[in-house]
Amino acid sequence: MDFSTFLIQLLNALQYGLLLFLVASGLTLVFGIMGIINLAHGSFYMMGAYMAFALTALSGNLLVAILVGIALSVLIGFLLEWALFSRLYKRDHLDQVLLTYGLILIFEELRSLLVGDDVHGVPIPELLSASIQLSETLSYPVYRLFMSAVCILLAIVMYWLIRHTRLGMMIRAGSSNREMVQALGINIDLIYRIVFGLGVTLAAFAGMLAAPVSSVYPGMGNQVLIICFVVVVIGGVGSVWGALVAALLIGLADTFGKVIAPDYAGLAVYVLMAAVLLWRPEGIFRRI
């Protein structure tokens, strides 16, 4: 591998890692703050991608589709939290795992009933459709760079939201002690609803943002789900920074694994995980 190829692969790794971070960030938030293992997180990603497809087809504009999609996702998140999850907080984690397991099946079938089982593409917006020439033969689509920029921006916004706002303070307090926060007169139910809505929206947004690159197909949620869990395990439950670091590490392991030892590329990520867990059983970063 010559040096310029190495740099391009590095770019690939970063770009993949940042997208992974975006998908996993919602998972780690819901997980860390509410203590819910949300298996349906991949379904929300899929839902987002399909919304991008359907709404772009309707409106002809990805930006409009994303804005409408975000509004819909928030609504769906609130609705699910109100109808199902809010009734389970006092129960075992196991019940929540199973609930979300059931939701996966339901969402996948609803997708099949509503949109069908075909593969669809979502056009890249005109404005971002150019590419940059990187080497003699290879160019890099601007949209991929744009995606990375959005991911970085969101990471900063989330950091600011959790560290420097009143809502963030309440969220952090709520994650450490639900009852105490409630006793202090903070509406913890509302906080949980917001966090869950945020989790759903982040996953759906990742799906919408990735749709023009990934295309839209049945079962696409399950593919990202497990790798997102690995991100959370490596990064540490509930830690947004941890998720970022872990996602980038996974991006590197996956990309260079594919180049150096293609037969074992799928394993590279898990070897990384085992190594981290040996070193720190609860992930790299422990708290929000």
Partner 1 sequence: MPLPRNKTRNYLPLVLLVLALFPVFGSSYYNELIAKIMIMAIFALSLDLLVGFTGLVSFGHAAFFGAAAYSVVLLSPKYDPGNLWLVLPAAVLTGAAVAFVVGLFVLRTKGIYFIMVTLAFAQMIYFVFHDTPLGGGSDGAFLNVKPELRIGEKVLLDLNEPMQFYYIVLAFLVVAYVFLRVLLRSPLGHALAGIRSNEHRMQSLGFPVFLYKLASFVTAGGLAGLAGFLSACQYGFVTPEILSWHQSGNVLLMVILGGMGTLNGAAIGAFAFVVLQEVFSALTKHWQLLMGAVIVTVVMVLPGGLSSLPQRLKGLLIGGGNRNG
Partner 2 sequence: MEQGFNRRRFLLSTAGIAGGLALPAAPVFAQGAKKIRVGLMLPYTGTYASLGTAITNGFKLAVDEGGGKLGGREIEYFTVDDESDAAKAPENANKLIKRDNVDVLVGTVHSGVALAMARVARETNTLLIVPNAGADEITGPLCSPNIFRTSFSAWQPSYAMGQVMADRKHKNVVTLAWKYSFGEQSVAGFKEAFEKAGGKVVKEMYLPFPNVEFQPYLTEIAALKPDAVFVFFSGGGAVKFVRDYATAGLRSSIPLYGPGFVTDGTLEGQGEAAEGMLTTLHYADNLDLPKSKSFKAAYFKAFKMQPDVFAVQGYDAAQLFAAGLAQVNGDVGKRADMIKAMETATIDSPRGAFTLSKAHNPVQDIYLRKVEGKENKFVSVAAKALADPARGCRM
Q: Which of residues 98-117 bind partner 1 (CB under 8 A)?
A: 98-99, 101-106, 108-110, 112-113
133 versus 166: smaller Cβ distance to partner 2: 133
Token couple for 228: 């997102």
Stretch that binds partner 1, among 64-72, 121-129, 137-145, 270-278 (CB under 8 A): 270-278
Question: Residue 147's closest CA among 20, 284, 282?
Answer: 20
Token couple for 214: 């990934």
Exposure on the CB side of residue 65, measured as CA atoms within 13 A: 28
Q: Which of residues 16-55 bind partner 1 (CB under 8 A)?
A: 31, 35, 37, 39
Three-class secondary structure of residue 244 per DSSP? helix
Of 89, 125, 258, 286, the residue at the interface with partner 2 (CB under 8 A) is 258
Alpha-carbon gap, residue 31 to 278, rounded angstroms: 22
Of 63, 91, 157, 180, the residue at the interface with partner 1 (CB under 8 A) is 91
Residue 102 makes contact with partner 2 by CB under 8 A: no
Residue 278 makes contact with partner 1 by CB under 8 A: yes
Residue 287 makes contact with partner 2 by CB under 8 A: no
Residue 259 makes contact with partner 2 by CB under 8 A: yes
Alpha-carbon gap, residue 66 to 6, rounded angstroms: 34
* DSSP state string for 10-62: HHHHHHHHHHHHHHHHHHHHHHHHH----TTHHHHHHHHHHHHHHHHHHHS-H
Alpha-carbon gap, residue 31 to 37, rounded angstroms: 6
Name the packing angle between helices 142-164 and 240-260 (round to 10°).
150
Please report, as a single letter, which amino acid is at residue 58: L
81 versus 108: smaller Cβ distance to partner 2: 108
118 binds, among partner 1, partner 2, none (CB under 5 to 8 A by kind): partner 2
Question: Residue 221's closest CA among 105, 114, 64, 80?
Answer: 105
Of 1, 5, 95, 177, the residue at the interface with partner 1 (CB under 8 A) is 95
Contacts with partner 2, residue ranges (CB under 8 A):
1-2, 5, 8-9, 12, 15-16, 108-109, 112, 116-121, 123-124, 131, 133, 135-141, 143-144, 213-220, 223, 254-256, 258-259, 262-263, 265-266
Contacts with partner 1, residue ranges (CB under 8 A):
31, 35, 37, 39, 84, 87-88, 91-95, 97-99, 101-106, 108-110, 112-113, 226, 229-230, 232-233, 237, 263-267, 270-271, 273-274, 277-278, 281-282
